[in-house]
Structure 1
Amino acid sequence: MKNATSKQNALKFVCDLLGHKYKVTQKVTSHVKVYTCSCCNHQLTTDSKGNLTELTPKFQEINKDLERIYRNRMMRLKNKSFTSSNYPLRNIA
């Protein structure tokens, strides 16, 4: 167990020295994403102003609810477009 902790501390030191290597790990909406450092697993998310902020339990809950609302809206819009395309256009002369 001590080796795992020392390895994690070494990776954290590398990130502190050279900087994090963030990658997008989750797309909550089209403009809200979760980023994770590939070395130390530090996580960031986009806040309401578009700035990166640390992913706390509060932001995890907000992102989960936001993703649910966004997914429901996209499904509703998708169903609406399918429904409106079923009606043929009438000729107006």
Structure 2
Amino acid sequence: MKKTTSKPTFFSKLYCHIFGHDYHVSKKVTRHVKEYKCCHCKKELTTNSNGKLTELTSTFKEINDVLEFMYHKKISRIRHKMYSTPAA
């Protein structure tokens, strides 16, 4: 299956330049780390280690993928432990 991505047009870039970006959460990596995408110009950001927004580069995308994997593994381990311990 071919993945198609629409490139931002001149007008969408101009809109963001004049009115600012309209970011929406595109992916929740953990409770504190999220990825954001502008619905007009398709610019992508993520939260860095200081909690500030930074551009989503391939390095940050890879870091977020590993962080998401570790987070889900931890959560599943906690849930398994919580349900497998007998109640006293």
Q: Write out aligned runs for 1:17-36 (5 A).
A: 17-36=18-37
- Match of 2:17, SS? helix
| Residue-pair matches, total | 83
Query: Partner of 2:42 in structure 1?
Result: 41
Q: CA deviation at 1:9?
A: 1.4
Residue in 1 that maps onto 2:78: 77
Letter in 2 for 1:59: F
**Distance in 2 (alpha carbons) for counterparts of 1:22 and 1:88:** 45
Give the TM-score taking structure 1 as reference length: 0.84
Pairwise CA distance, 1:81: 0.1
SS of match in other structure, 1:61: helix
Q: Which runs of 4+ in 1 moved over 2 A?
A: none
Unmatched segments (≥5 aa) in structure 1: none
Write out per-residue CA displacement over residues 4-60 of structure 1, whole angstroms, 9 at most, x where no aligned residue: 87x711110110111000001100000000010010110000000000000000000
**Structure 2 gaps, min length 5:** 1-5
SS at match of 1:16: helix
The residue identity in structure 1 corresponding to 2:41 is C
Please provide the CA RMSD for this pair.
1.5
Whole-Å Cα distance in 2 between the matches of residues 56 and 28 of structure 1?
15
